[in-house]
Structures are given as structure tokens and as C-alpha cells.
Amino acid sequence: MKKRIMKNMWMAGLLFCMCTQLFCSCGRYRPAAKDKVYAGVICYNQNDTFLGQMIECIRKQFERLENDALDITMTIRDSAGSQRTQDDQVKELIDAGCNVLCVNLVDRTDPSEIIDLARENNVPIIFFNREPVAEDMMQWDGLYYVGADAKQSGIMQGEMAVDLIKSNNRIDRNKDGKIQYVVLEGEPGHQDAIIRTENAVDTLKDNKIKLEKLSYGIANWNRAQAQSRMLQMIGQHQNKIELVLANNDDMALGAMDAYSKLNITRENLPVFFGIDGTDVGLEAVLEKELSGTVYNDKEGQAAAIAKLAVAIVSKKGMEDITFKNGKYIYLPYSKVTIDNVSAYLGEYKKNKK
């Protein structure tokens, strides 16, 4: 008796399976499964001019990728300069169900806690802008990096300075055959600070420009800090400074603020070079106050981040992405001077809409 009941139940089960299979394989009635990307985007400090604009680009790129088969939800967090806060935010976003994270580390040498959390929960991470050291990137195969090559930006800044100095003999204002210069540097330990400085200076030297370094100031990418460092340097060297190399546009603008605060006349001004091509930086190039900047392609980097995030979650399109060493994507920099700035301004106005 028991055997018969079992047999009947088994038969009923089989019949049920056959029916559901028949129903499901009838493509017309099967609703297409949507891919759902829940992206958590965390920024080291949204007061940073370049990063503030870049986060906006990431938001736009994710929006652009949404379609009938793809839902994207993006949550943004600002770590306001604290790695502890950032670690907590990673935990919070993983608990909230994010299936991919885009992390702009506060301390690029200290991602272990974040990596452990991500690996335990199997949530891949795309780091951006602040590059973890290679050993940390090797800790898990769910880790990627999107950024740009610091060396290239330094070389380009140096080349623009070489071109200007060679074509304009008024840069060497005291006519001693040397260019007296100062450097404004970003955060110590950031891959874009020391490498940019070294390569800009080496490029000038390689091109036979005689240099005299008067001083340098660390201003942590920040306009107000750059202004106060520059005020100190002007105090020490008065009108001797002929060239200011800044690791980013905000610091170049801060240096210019110092000169205007002191009401120094135009003929006693040095020439200034920045890096980033932020909105304010591009405007300053257009106004001929900033002699040149190097465009840090935030739109390109944001597009690469969004595309990679979608490919990771949907497990589609990974083969269309070109990586360096299997996990790195670097976007190229480009030079911006008065000759081509309008094209870049046009681009940013277009993106603002």
C-alpha cells in the first residue's frame, strides 16, 4: 500500500515537472530576466573638485547604460577623508545588497579591511583614482582598478612648459638663462603627486631647460592650502619665481589666488601649469591665466567604471574590455592650452546638460 502511494506521488511529480518545462520552454510566454546592478560608489572626499565632478560623471554613465533588460541602482557615499568611515560604508552597502562596489580609497595603502569584506561576501570591487599597491590588488581576483598613468601627466605638463619657455623669452624674467621654479604637490603618498612632479621636472631638464628650484609646498590637492603655501613662498622669494608647477588645477588656482591677493602686477607674475582640466581649470586656461593643464579624462574613466560594473554583474561583455595585467584599465591624458581649450569646454558643457 505504502509502495503504491509512493509510486503515485512519483508519477504526479514527474507529470508536474513535464508540464512546467513545456510551459517554460514556450519562449513567447517567458518574461525576459532583467539584470540588476546595485552599485555602491564611495568617494574619499567629495569636496575634492576633481572627484566631485568625476562622481557626477559616474552617475551619468550608469544612467546611460540602463535599458529594458538592465536595471541599475546607484548609491553614493562620501567618506569625508576617513578610512574608518569608508570601511563602515563598505559594510553598510554590502549589507544593503550591493552586488558591485566602486571605491575611491581614502588611504590607498590600507584597503585590507575592505578587500576582506568584499571577498567574504563575494562582491567585486572596482577601485578608482587612488590606486592600491600591487600586492593588495593581487589578494583576490574580484578586484579591478580604473585610472590614468601619472607619469604621462607629468611628462605632458613638462612638455607644455618646455614649449612655452622656448617660444617666449619673457618667461625668464631676470634673464639669467635659468628658470626659477616652485612646485605645489598633492597628498604625500598619492601615486599622482610625486610621479607627476618628477616627470614634469625631468622633461624640462631633458629638453635642456636650465632650472633652479626655489621651493616646494605640499597642499593636498586643495586650493586654499595652495594659496597659503604660495603666500609663504612669495614671502621668501618675492618676485623671483618664474614658473609654478602644480600637481593639479586647484593648487595652480590657489597659487594664482595668492598673487592676486598681494596685487602683484601682471609683468611680475610667473607662469602656472596644472593638471585635471576641471571646469574652473579650463576657464582659467581660456582666460589665459593658466598657461596649460593636462586633461584627466573623468568622462572616459567613468564610462570604463560603469561598463565594467555592468559586465561583472551581468557576466556579459567582459571579453570586450581591454585590461592591463588582467585587472587594470588606464585612460590616456591629453594636453590643454589656449589653442584647444574651447573643444574641451564644449565637451564639458555638453556633459553638464
CA distance linking residue 87 with residue 94, whole number of Å? 11
Q: What is the largest CA-CA distance in the chain?
A: 111
- The DSSP symbol for 292 reads B
CA distance linking residue 18 with residue 216, whole number of Å? 77
CA distance linking residue 164 with residue 291, whole number of Å? 8
CA distance linking residue 353 with residue 153, whole number of Å? 28
Q: Among residues 227 and 248, whose Cβ is nearest to ligand GAL?
A: 248
Residue 82 in grid coordinates:
576617513
Asked if residue 50 binds ligand GAL (CB under 6 A), the reply is: yes
**Are 55 and 299 contacting, i.e. CB atoms less than 8 angstroms apart?**
no
- Within residues 103-142, the interface with ligand GAL by CB under 6 A covers 129-130
Q: Among residues 31 and 177, whose Cβ is nearest to Ca ion?
A: 177
**Are 83 and 110 contacting, i.e. CB atoms less than 8 angstroms apart?**
yes
Sheet with 143-148: strands ordered across? 70-78, 35-43, 100-103, 125-128, 143-148, 328-331
Specify the stretch interacting with ligand GAL by CB under 6 A; choose among 48-56, 111-119, 159-167, 229-237.
Answer: 48-56
CA distance linking residue 285 with residue 252, whole number of Å? 11
Q: Among residues 171 and 286, whose Cβ is nearest to Ca ion?
A: 171
- Cell numbers 553614493 correspond to what residue? 76
> Residue 103 binds which one of Ca ion, ligand GAL, none, with CB within 5 to 8 A depending on kind?
none
Specify the stretch interacting with ligand GAL by CB under 6 A; choose among 22-30, 45-53, 76-84, 328-336.
Answer: 45-53
Amino acid of residue 195: I
Specify the stretch interacting with ligand GAL by CB under 6 A; choose among 47-55, 174-182, 227-235, 343-351.
Answer: 47-55
Residue 76 in grid coordinates:
553614493
> Residue 196 binds which one of ligand GAL, Ca ion, none, with CB within 5 to 8 A depending on kind?
none
> Residue 172 binds which one of Ca ion, ligand GAL, none, with CB within 5 to 8 A depending on kind?
Ca ion
Binding ligand GAL (rule: CB under 6 A), the pick from 37, 43, 51, 156 is: 51
> Residue 174 binds which one of Ca ion, ligand GAL, none, with CB within 5 to 8 A depending on kind?
Ca ion
Residue numbers of the site for Ca ion (CB under 5 A)?
172, 174, 176, 178
- Within residues 216-275, the interface with ligand GAL by CB under 6 A covers 221, 248, 275
- Report the candidate in 152, 164, 153, 173 with the shortest Cα–Cα distance to residue 249: 153
- Within residues 167-226, the interface with ligand GAL by CB under 6 A covers 190, 192, 221
Task: List the x/- string, 306-325, binding to ligand GAL by CB under 6 A.
Answer: --------------------
CA distance linking residue 189 with residue 185, whole number of Å? 11
CA distance linking residue 279 with residue 346, whole number of Å? 11
> Residue 131 binds which one of Ca ion, ligand GAL, none, with CB within 5 to 8 A depending on kind?
none
Residue 55 CB, nearest approach to Ca ion (Å): 41
> Residue 220 binds which one of Ca ion, ligand GAL, none, with CB within 5 to 8 A depending on kind?
none
Q: Among residues 176 and 339, whose Cβ is nearest to Ca ion?
A: 176
